[in-house]
Structure formats: structure tokens, C-alpha cells
Chains A and B, each alone.
Chain A
Amino acid sequence: MQQSYIRYISAAIFLVSTTIGCTKKEYKIPTPKDVLQNDCIKRTQGPNIVGQTIEFAYAMAILPEKGKLTNAKVEATIDGAAGTWMENNSYYTNNTGVDVGISVGSTSVTTKNVTTVTFNKDTNAATLRYYYVIPDQARGQSVSFTFSAESSDGETVSYKMGPYTIANMDMKKGINLTDGGLMYISIADMAAYNATDAAAKAGSIDLVYLYRNITTSAFNFALVSPAADPQYLPGVTLPTGVNRSTYERKVFNLQDYNLAQMQYGIYIDDPDFQQLNMTNDPNYAINLKQEAGVWVETADHKYRAYVYFNTASTTTKNAVIGIKRYTL
């Protein structure tokens, strides 16, 4: 008796599951919403650094039979620096993978914290790019953005992005160094000076750049504190008053994306500087080369920095460096 029950129940489960399993759902093209819609993505990655740009792509669309787009607007919580703008081109990607821009509106107008593009073509779908140049007053703060669009039928729609924390650190790229010329580096100024200018700014010179091709040891490119043992400054006569001692730590394989612009997705951010403890580090770094870096802390403990060698030429003895600097 019990066995026959089990048999009936099993057969019923089998029939039900096969019936459900065979149901075919026909694919239907989704019906677009008949209201004005929008979406947004942030295109830039990594830390948000003063003077750099945060880029967004803002998309908006409305059904053609309902109307057309009239304007797009972005409101930032902190006024963008000079150069903040929104593109008046909408892009599509052609067959060869190239983004092609088509003008859909007038040049953007930025008034304080609001940037607007007014559409002047019959457009019912567009993606506009917005470039926010991070101002100095945003340093260490958070900034948010409200993107909005308006259509000819009076509809409005908006999209909030952020908040994004703006880093405390500064960045400077493309600092040229020449052995015997621009070889005195100031972290405070994020600049390199020659001997005459270094003498005038003796109190702020933290590093001396030099290149030596010594056959008995690997010296190569070096960043040495003025106060380091003279054996690390062969052939260098320091300008009067240049005598600071800077903590240094050599690093290899730390190609920060902002500084190196290479394929490595590594970003140095504020916490990296905050967690650095350099009390036991030397005041020189020799045997450096292209793509090497040096963590630095100034003698007055006012700045920590990361100095990255973009290029270093043994023939010209020149180098190009970039600096990320954090004020303690």
C-alpha cells in the first residue's frame, strides 16, 4: 500500500517538472519606457587629485514621438576649477572602434558650480562627457554631482553621482633633471633647480640628482640628500647652505598609474603616505633606473613624497621624474 503511494507521488512530481521544464518563453523586445530617462558613469579611476580631471559620461534619452532633448546640466557641490566643461558632442563608436563625435548642442556654459549644454539639434538620445577640474578648495573634502536633463515636453530627470573624496596629496609630472644642471630638487616646490637657484633656496633643497657610471660598483642614477655621506655625492660641490637630510627608501615595481601612465593599475593614495614609517631609512638612494621610485620624507617632517623616474638616459645623463606629495 505504502509503496503504491510513493509510486504515484513520484510519477506526479515527474509529470509536473517535465511540463514546467518544457514551457518556452518567447523573447520579446523590451518596450522602452515612455518617459525621459538618464544614466551616468564615472570614466576616471584612482585617487581624485587637485588639478586633475574627473570625467563622467552622462546619457539621456526620450522617445522621438514624445519630444526631444532641450538641455543637460551638471551641478557640483564645489565649484570646479578653470577648465571644467561639458562636451557638446555626442559620441558613437564606428566600425573601426573609433569614437566619433557629433555636435548636438552649443558650447557648454559654466557659471560657478553649474555647467549647462543647450541642445540645438533635434536630438532624442545623447551621451555627453563632463570634465570636472578639481579645485584647490576641494582638497580633503567630498564632492558630489547632480546630472539633469530636460526635454521639450517639460519632463526633467536627474542622476546623482558621488560623493567622491578629494585627496590631500599634490602631483607634478614631467620634472626635467640634468646631471650638472637642474639637479637640486625641492619637495616643497616640487621643482628642480640649478646650483645658482639652489643656493638662493638652500633651505628647501631636499635631494641632489646625479648619474655616475662607476665601473667598480653600481651607482648609476641617484637621489642623494645634501647631508648624506660625501661618498654618495662623488664630484658634487654643494651650493652654499644646501645641507638638508632627507629620509629615502628605494622602490622597484611601483609604477603608479598617475605618474607612469603605463598599463599597471597601481595608484598611490593618501593612506599610503599616512602609513609610511621612514624613521629607520637612510638619506640616500643610489643605483636607480627608469621606472624605479623613491619614497621620501623631508628633514622637517613636513612632506612625504613618492618620486618616480619616467625616463633616465645614460647617454644624456638626463631624467624625467614625477612627484606625488603629501603634506603631513
Chain B
Amino acid sequence: MKRIIISTLIILSVLSCKKDHPVDGDGLLITPRQECYVSNFELLGADYVTVLTKQPVIDTTAQTVSVIVQFGTDLKNLFPQFTLATDCKLDPKIVGKVDFSDLANPKEYNVISGNRQISKTYKVLITVQPR
């Protein structure tokens, strides 16, 4: 009887240690999803109010996000916000203000799919509205 109980406990503990849900280096769940794209984009000014004059144009083939910002926008102090396909993640991470003032060299962000197998680089193209 004792042997049966001990064996059951060992089997249960081994089973409980098995990892069903793998996570990546950021502690995020790795899933089977292969979708890898930007679905929406927002750009906030230093006052946390949008600086976009209209909806962004996202080209998932050319992998670009094109936006027009208001005249007078302080391009050095902007907060970008990406909406990605389910389970995707962004690299580099956005941790604060971003300087978008170098319009000749647009900022690039990698979108990585849920299964972490696909990576696509998106460029953020900014145009300043004329006065």
C-alpha cells in the first residue's frame, strides 16, 4: 500500500514540473501564432495628447507606419503607442519619450510574432503638417 502511495506522489510531482506554457526572455507567453504586424499606431505629445492630424496609414506589405503630425509638434519628446497582432511583441521596447526629430532616418521597430519565429521591421514615417 505504502509503495503505491509513494509511486503516485513521485509521478504527480514529475508531471507537475512539466512545462506546458513556454515563456520567452521577457516572461511573455510563446504561442503558436504566426501573425506579425502592426494593427494601429498612436503618437502622443509631451502633454499626453495626440499629435496626429488623422488616422495613421499602416502598410503591412511595405512595413511602414505613415503619420502626419500637427504643425509645431515637438518631435524630440513623443510617446509612440503600437497596437500589435495578438501575442506579438515589440523590439526595442518603448520605455519613455522617443526622439523622432531625425526625419531623414525614420525610427525602426521590430514586431515579433507570438511563436517568436517571425520578425518584421516597421519604419515610422512622420510628416509635419504645414502651417
Query: Which residues of A are in contact with B by a Cβ distance under 8 Å?
Result: 214, 216-219, 231-232, 234, 249-253, 280-282, 284, 286-287, 292
Contact = CB atoms under 8 A, between A and B. Distances in A.
A216 B131 CA distance: 6
Given A217-B71, A284-B72, A252 B131 contact: no
A286 B72 CA distance: 7
A252 B49 contact: yes
Contacts of B130: 216-217
B64 interface: no
A129 B14 CA distance: 74
Interface in B66-102: 70-72, 74, 76-77
B46, B72, B76, B77: which has the most chain A beta carbons within 10 Å? B72
A287 B70 contact: yes
Contacts of B48: 252-253
Nearest to A248: B74
B47 A252 contact: yes
A281 B74 CA distance: 8
Contact of B70 (A217, A251, A281): A217
Given A219-B131, A284-B72, 14 more contacts: A216-B71, A217-B70, A217-B129, A219-B72, A231-B131, A232-B72, A251-B46, A251-B47, A252-B48, A252-B49, A280-B76, A281-B46, A282-B76, A286-B72
A142 B101 CA distance: 46
B131 A217 contact: yes
Interface in B1-56: 45-49
Contact of A250 (B45, B71, B129, B131): B45
Interface residues of B, number: 14
Interface of B: 45-49, 70-72, 74, 76-77, 129-131
A282 B74 CA distance: 7
26 contacts: A214-B131, A216-B129, A216-B130, A216-B131, A217-B70, A217-B71, A217-B72, A217-B129, A217-B130, A231-B131, A232-B72, A234-B131, A249-B46, A250-B46, A251-B46, A252-B48, A252-B49, A253-B48, A280-B77, A281-B46, A281-B74, A281-B76, A282-B76, A287-B70, A287-B72, A292-B47
A161 to B, nearest CB: 39
B3 to A, nearest CB: 35
Nearest to A288: B47
A230 to B, nearest CB: 11
